[in-house]
Structure 1
């Protein structure tokens, strides 16, 4: 309460001098009226002066309250921004710094006293210890920037990478407007992701190196097992053993290839070659190739072709087939005996996209597992009980490939009734990313 009283009194002290001059003039005029006006006129003037003083007092009181509330709100905002674990910088539209929290001080090794009130410019990059700060504020100066927002839309989110020293920031810029929608300031929140990114890179590098080291010897072992199972000198028992070993070797090789694919997707170097493609013809080819596997499992596959014309799409036929086969194999593997898989293509209403859905009549996915379905190594409990083998990487790889085509993927499911995997592909090439983005920046 004491603070509020001080705030109010400070306002009156800082009120423009013209208000107090006007008040003094009114008092002098009132005294003059008392001395020189007749009594009936004095009564009328007294009423007018009372009204003026009441209005003036109300205006001053309201102004004082607004000023007090503004100061309190500003102090609360500063307390919130100071308590954020990330670095926070606030500057006005002229780039004058008006807030620099303690985390920012530690991150950029600059004291708030040295920067508050300073107008930031690109030339400040020449100052000692200011280079990283200036490249963060003026991201066009940074060595590597990945933008996650459309130009002109706020909040703006960018990832900024530095090489020497190795630093990874995710920077969110918020535009602050006043009640008249006039731009007044910007808030930059800088999240230091360096430790997280370096750990992810280390694990990816380990997977890549280990997979390459294993793939060569395993290829030779598989070749020897294929030769051995076809040898005429072996009896039926030994041939069965050799055939089983060869099949296990091929499964292991597929797992290693999946690890390599995941590493390439994570690093943004999977490699795509987009070509104009008739999607219906392309899907028909993929379904014909997987049909023997479906028949062997007792599953029927249907292609629900659209009645309307479907525009061509730009895809990488080889890479997209990996995603499609992963989804279709899951639909076959986790289906019921004599089950069905239905593939359908539709135009997305009022959008330059096609939606491809793959619906099965299988075991379904528990609701609590749907959110994890497209993450690395995830397999739901009922999937593990149904099929003990599986890496949990197929749908993660499919998601990475589809997103690199400019599409999105989602899953709907009902336990013991089946699952629908739907993904989109753009009919307008401008929605295809110009380059691959490493998963660490998504």
Structure 2
């Protein structure tokens, strides 16, 4: 039985390393030897401090020293990208698992580059179509009949949706290439929220939404990429307005969490909610909930992915609670920069 276990460990496609309670390396399989370019004869029974002398082991040593569970953390190692998990072994040490995702990352990069190229190529002609349609609709190229105007208005709206989709795709491409955030500056968070609300006054009045913004007495300035934070709030408010029925309520709130030295933003609606069984997928690219699809509400399924990326790029967190047919509440936190 022991021989079978050892063979399973040795032939396992992921790299496996087992450490004892004193952080000495007890076992390393062939896959881990290949990834780290080390031999078991060189490293067996050595503590983490000694293993740090091997260049390929240094990024892993930092994780092991933290002595905390790690799940699928990406680590770049020369020409490899590894997904690293660290699992405690109940008073017997710890297991380090190395999963090679290099090929997946290459495919993702190629896909991102393709999407970016196509989006860039489409953006210019779509803009030209937009302004040509605008000339017709404004009567600059002659008078239109009501029927002609109706057709052109529908075409203009469809073209606008395509422009928004292209912008979202370009944002996603930048996020995946880690070149999304621009220069950060100190901003008044309350004024930032108010500026976003002002953009939606027309939609708020049309749907007779009772919108409430609960402001704090004071907030420290936030050091952020203000345009990206505006976009995050805009996407959340846009969703709340889109999925809240006529006459519903939306509450926004900004507050200070002194114990964690962070600012909290909340947006709560009385909309259609998110089905419980689909809530784990809400931040996935292109995901749209089944109840949204049934109602035929338009959208790209990219907004919440972009919001999550923006908040996490700033070192914050985003979370939510939702109940179908009752509403959804989103929160995000942003750390206050010190020093």
| TM bucket, shorter chain | 0.7 to 0.9
1:106 positional shift: 5.4
- From 193, 198, 205, the equivalent of 2:106 is 198
* Structural mapping, 1:154-173, within 5 Å: 154-155=68-69, 159-162=74-77, 166-172=79-85
Higher helix share: 1
1:119 positional shift: 6.7
Q: Residue 285 in 1 paired to residue 195 in 2?
A: yes
- From 82, 98, 101, the equivalent of 2:29 is 101
* Structural mapping, 1:51-90, within 5 Å: 81-82=9-10, 84-90=12-18
C-alpha distance in 2, partners of 1:407/1:271?
14
C-alpha distance in 2, partners of 1:251/1:153?
49
Q: Residue 136 in 1 paired to residue 136 in 2?
A: no
In structure 2, the residue matched to 1:368 is 277
C-alpha distance in 1, partners of 2:284/2:138?
40
1:170 positional shift: 2.9
1:297 positional shift: 2.5
C-alpha distance in 2, partners of 1:123/1:304?
55
* Residues 238, 353 of structure 1: alpha-carbon distance in 2 compared, 3 angstrom cutoff: same
C-alpha distance in 2, partners of 1:354/1:123?
42
C-alpha distance in 1, partners of 2:65/2:42?
28
* Larger RCO (alpha carbons 8 Å, 6+ apart): 2
Task: Please give the secondary structure, in 1, of the residue aligned with 2:277.
Answer: helix
1:370 positional shift: 1.5
After TM superposition, the structure 1 stretch with the greater mean CA deviation from structure 2, 98-107 or 381-390, is 98-107
C-alpha distance in 2, partners of 1:280/1:416?
30
Task: Please give the secondary structure, in 2, of the residue aligned with 1:350.
Answer: helix
1:349 positional shift: 5.7
1:136 positional shift: 2.3
* Residues 376, 98 of structure 1: alpha-carbon distance in 2 compared, 3 angstrom cutoff: same
- From 166, 171, 174, the equivalent of 1:256 is 166
1:97 positional shift: 6.1
1:362 positional shift: 1.0
User: What is the CA deviation profile of residues 344-390 of structure 1, one whole-angstrom value per residue up to 9, with x for unaligned ones?
Assistant: 12223621112111111111111112211111111111111224321
- From 183, 191, 205, the equivalent of 1:295 is 205
C-alpha distance in 1, partners of 2:254/2:35?
50
Q: Which runs of no fewer than 5 residues in structure 2 stay unpaired?
A: none
Q: Which runs of no fewer than 5 residues in structure 1 stay unpaired?
A: 4-71, 126-132, 142-146, 180-184, 431-442
* Residues 214, 94 of structure 1: alpha-carbon distance in 2 compared, 3 angstrom cutoff: same
C-alpha distance in 1, partners of 2:337/2:12?
41
* Residues 261, 116 of structure 1: alpha-carbon distance in 2 compared, 3 angstrom cutoff: closer
Give the alignment's TM-score, normalised by structure 1. 0.66
C-alpha distance in 1, partners of 2:184/2:205?
32
C-alpha distance in 2, partners of 1:352/1:101?
44
Q: Residue 330 in 1 paired to residue 245 in 2?
A: no
Q: Is the 8 A contact 2:264 2:334 kept in 1?
A: yes
C-alpha distance in 1, partners of 2:334/2:48?
43
Q: Which has the larger radius of gyration?
A: 1
In structure 2, the residue matched to 1:221 is 129
* Residues 233, 176 of structure 1: alpha-carbon distance in 2 compared, 3 angstrom cutoff: closer
* Residues 140, 235 of structure 1: alpha-carbon distance in 2 compared, 3 angstrom cutoff: same
1:234 positional shift: 2.5
1:115 positional shift: 4.2
* Structural mapping, 1:234-245, within 5 Å: 234-245=144-155
* Residues 88, 336 of structure 1: alpha-carbon distance in 2 compared, 3 angstrom cutoff: same
1:290 positional shift: 1.5
C-alpha distance in 1, partners of 2:67/2:19?
18
Q: Is the 8 A contact 2:36 2:56 kept in 1?
A: no
* Residues 382, 174 of structure 1: alpha-carbon distance in 2 compared, 3 angstrom cutoff: closer
In structure 2, the residue matched to 1:211 is 119
**Count of aligned residue pairs for this structure pair:** 336
